[in-house]
Amino acid sequence: MLGTRMIVLGIESSCDETAVGVVQDGHMLRSNIVASSMSLHAQYGGVVPEIAARSHIEAIIPVIEEALAAAKCTWNDIDAIAVTYGAGLNGSLLIGVLAARTLAIIKRKPLYAVNHVIGHIYANFLTQTTLKGYQMRRQQPEFPMLGIIVSGGHSQLAIWRNHFDYTLLGQTQDDAIGEAFDKVAKIIGLPYPGGINVSRLAQQGNRDAFQLPKARMAGKYDFSFSGIKTAVLRLAQEQVGKDYSLPSYELSGLLNEQQKADIAASFQRVACETIADKALLAYQEFVPKSVVVGGGVAANTELRECLARTLPYSIEYLDLKLCGDNGAMIAALGCFHAMEQQATANPYTLETAPNLSM
Ligand code: KG4
Ligand code: ZN
């Protein structure tokens, strides 16, 4: 494929972002348009699947058109379409998949069905852009590559020997790290989406104020974040002098600002250390040539600092606009599907896979 230009349009709709990106040759970011229905969910404290699905229906066509225009492309320039077919909310995935299937048929383009979680990792292959305001990685990751996935739905470690040749080392057995951030945010009364708000408040707190437990897992590389969430709840109840019968929604009104900040900082430290500890074990066992991080929580400064302290490797991070859900990561992975001659999907039959694993 060297020397041949491959331009892929990637469609992502697995949660509350309707996102479309255009990527050339797996490394050149040409557009990245994200429409989020997050503000509509904020009043409910989390994503409402029906609202997300309806928002995707309204946004999908305009976002595709905007992504093409921003990439200075017409459909003639697009060589293939890639779409997230899982994992995610089924009603949300359906809109992206049906749009991609329809376009693949009427525009006569090959269609690639892409795994959302692997897409987060492949955002790290973007090294150049025609767009303003992006801080791009200097070079593409080398194999073997250790991938750390930290998002609202996933916490995973995987080792890639080559494109499409990877082993999942471990994953969360219950909540994902982003989900734990969001739940802790709720306990201390911070608005949805919680992760960014917890990390902001943590800056005012003492991260050694409280000792929260790290889960011990049977699987060397597995995670669990539900225990720490419950520990935060008990800690908050204790701090206001109440027992476990106090409903969690009454807590935030009773905690003072310093207590909230100390809880945020203590939780964030332990959650980040949990990821970094396991990443170090994997680094020592597999001696990767590169380590990459993907997913919304990759934006977290404490996690970045913690990994820098723990690993004997300096990680190149993604631009914040490429950490959370986006279409560019799907387009980037789609390019590799095409360039590495992976099987295309049948546009007449491709189904969603809400519980898709790696
Ligand atoms: O990758 P993503 O956009 O969606 C999923 O695939 O889940 O990740 C969203 C998650 C949410 O849980 C959000 O609270 C968390 O990423 N998040 C953060 C930060 N920014 C987003 N968590 C901690 N610190 C942040 N700065
Ligand atoms: Zn995601």
| Domain-embedded: residue 357 | no
Ligand 1 centroid to Cα of residue 195, in Å, is 6
- Domain-embedded: residue 351: no
Whether 331 is covered by a domain: the verdict is: yes
The residue whose CA has the least distance to atom 10 of ligand 1 is 152
In terms of domains, do 329 and 294 share one?
no
Residues 328 and 304 in one domain: no
Sheet with strand 145-150: strands edge to edge: 165-171, 155-162, 145-150, 290-294
CA 181 to ligand 2 centroid distance, Å: 15
Instruction: Kindly state whether residue 157 falls inside one of the protein's structural domains.
Output: no
Given a contact cutoff of 8 angstroms between Cβ atoms, the answer to whether 146 and 325 are in contact is: no
Asked if residue 144 belongs to a domain, the reply is no
| CA 142/CA 159 separation, integer angstroms | 11
Residue 182 and residue 283 share a domain: yes
Residue 133 lies in a domain: yes
**Could you tell me if the CB of 193 is within 6 A of ligand 1?**
yes
**How far apart (Å, rounded) are the C-alpha atoms in residues 177 and 317?**
18
User: The sheet that has 128-129: what strands, in order across it?
Assistant: 111-115, 80-86, 7-12, 17-24, 28-36, 128-129
Q: Does residue 213 share a domain with residue 172?
A: yes
C-alpha to C-alpha distance for 2 and 182, rounded to whole angstroms: 44
Task: Classify residue 98: in a domain, yes or no.
Answer: yes
Buried b (16+ CB within 10 A) or exposed e, 53-76: bbbbeebbeebbeebbebbebeee
C-alpha 8 to ligand 1 mean position (Å): 26
Atom of ligand 1 nearest to the CA of 199: 24
CB 277 within 8 A of CB 215: no
Q: Tens of pLDDT along the chain (358 residues)?
A: 455 689 999 999 999 999 999 999 999 999 999 998 888 888 888 888 999 999 999 999 999 999 999 999 999 999 999 999 999 999 999 999 999 999 999 999 999 999 999 999 999 999 999 999 999 999 999 999 999 999 999 999 999 999 999 999 999 999 999 999 999 999 999 998 899 999 999 999 999 999 999 999 999 999 999 999 999 999 999 999 999 999 888 999 999 999 999 999 999 999 999 999 999 999 999 999 999 999 999 999 999 999 999 999 999 999 999 999 999 999 999 999 999 999 999 999 999 999 999 9
Q: Are residues 251 and 118 in the same domain?
A: no
Residues 236 and 292 in one domain: yes
Same domain, 291 and 333: no
87: domain CATH number?
A: 3.30.420.40
- 101 and 172 share one domain: no
Q: CB neighbours (10 Å) of residue 358?
A: 16
pLDDT number for residue 4:
66
Q: Structural domain of residue 294, as residue ranges?
A: 165-310
Q: Which residues pair with 294 in a beta bridge?
A: 149
Expressed in angstroms and rounded, the spacing between residue 297 Cα and the centre of ligand 1 is 5
92 lines ligand 1 (CB under 6 A): no
Whether ligand 1 lies within 6 angstroms of the CB of 329 is answered as: no
Query: In which region does residue 64 sit, left (phi positive, over 0), alpha (psi from -120 to 50) or beta (all else)?
Result: alpha
Pair of tokens at residue 356 = 């898709």
> 198 and 254 share a domain?
yes
Q: Which atom of ligand 1 is nearest to the CA of 299?
A: 26
Ligand 2 (ion): residues with CB under 5 Å are 151, 325
Q: Are residues 278 and 205 part of one domain?
A: yes
Counted domains in the chain: 2
* Same domain, yes or no: 121 and 11: yes
Task: Please report the pLDDT score of residue 307 as a whole number.
Answer: 98
How many CA atoms does the CB half-sphere of 124 hold within 13 Å? 24
Strands 80-86 and 28-36, sheet pairing: unpaired
- Statement to judge: residues 196 and 71 lie in one domain: no
**Ligand 1, pocket-test mutation among 196, 228, 325, most atoms within 8 A of CB:** 196
CB 294 less than 6 A from any atom of ligand 1: no
Tell me 81's DSSP state: E
Alpha-carbon distance values, 59 to 18, 83, 314 (Å): 7, 16, 38
